[in-house]
Every structure is written in structure tokens, then in C-alpha cells.
């Protein structure tokens, strides 16, 4: 995107050292550090997959309805 390596280093430093907090029923539930990716066995990952598939389904249906994407016939046998 054209950002310099020094600027990217500053951004990475800010993001990698940040700590986040979430509200559970309106009450802060503590802090956790930022990390890359999901851990294997993370209970959130199946939900993220389902959300991603829902978005992909929506985009494919929209492309078909708009005439940007169409199927093809395959002969059986």
C-alpha cells in the first residue's frame, strides 16, 4: 500500500503492545494482549468459519442474481 517500513514498524509496535478489554453484561471482564491468529481448538474459530461462509453465500447469491455469475450444465453418466 506504499507505507514506509519505519511507519509500519511504529504501527506494529503500537498494535502488538496493546491490551484489550471486553464488556460482559456491561462490566469490564479484564484485559488480554493482542496476538496473531487463532489457537487450535479455540472455541471461537467454528463461529468465525460459519460467519465467513454466510458472507460468501450472500455474495455468491448476489452475483448470480446480478448476472455476474452463472452455473454450467454437466452431462451425467
Would you say residue 23 lies in a domain?
Answer: yes
Claim: this prediction has a pTM higher than 0.75: no
d(CA 36, CA 19): 13
The boundaries of the domain holding residue 60 are: 5-65
Q: What percent of the chain has pLDDT over 70?
A: 88
Would you say residue 72 lies in a domain?
Answer: no
Would you say residue 15 lies in a domain?
Answer: yes
The tally of domains found in the chain comes to 1
In the predicted model, what is the mean pLDDT of residues 5-27? 82
Quick one: the chain helix, strand, coil %, rounded to 5? 45, 15, 40
pLDDT in tens, 44-70: 677 888 888 999 999 999 999 999 888
Q: How many other CB atoms are found less than 10 A from the CB of residue 45?
A: 13
- pLDDT of 5 > 80? The answer is yes
Would you say residue 74 lies in a domain?
Answer: no
CA distances for 43 relative to 38, 49, 55, angstroms: 10, 11, 20
Would you say residue 35 lies in a domain?
Answer: yes
Would you say residue 70 lies in a domain?
Answer: no
Of 33, 1, 6, which is closest to residue 19 (Cα–Cα)? 33
Amino acid at each position: 500500500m506504499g507505507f514506509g517500513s519505519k511507519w509500519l514498524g511504529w504501527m506494529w509496535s503500537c498494535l502488538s503492545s496493546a491490551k484489550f478489554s471486553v464488556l460482559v453484561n456491561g462490566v469490564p471482564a479484564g484485559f488480554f494482549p493482542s496476538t496473531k491468529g487463532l489457537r487450535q481448538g479455540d472455541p471461537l474459530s467454528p463461529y468465525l468459519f460459519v460467519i465467513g461462509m454466510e458472507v460468501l453465500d450472500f455474495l455468491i447469491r448476489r452475483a448470480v442474481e446480478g448476472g455476474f455469475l452463472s452455473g454450467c450444465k454437466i452431462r451425467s453418466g
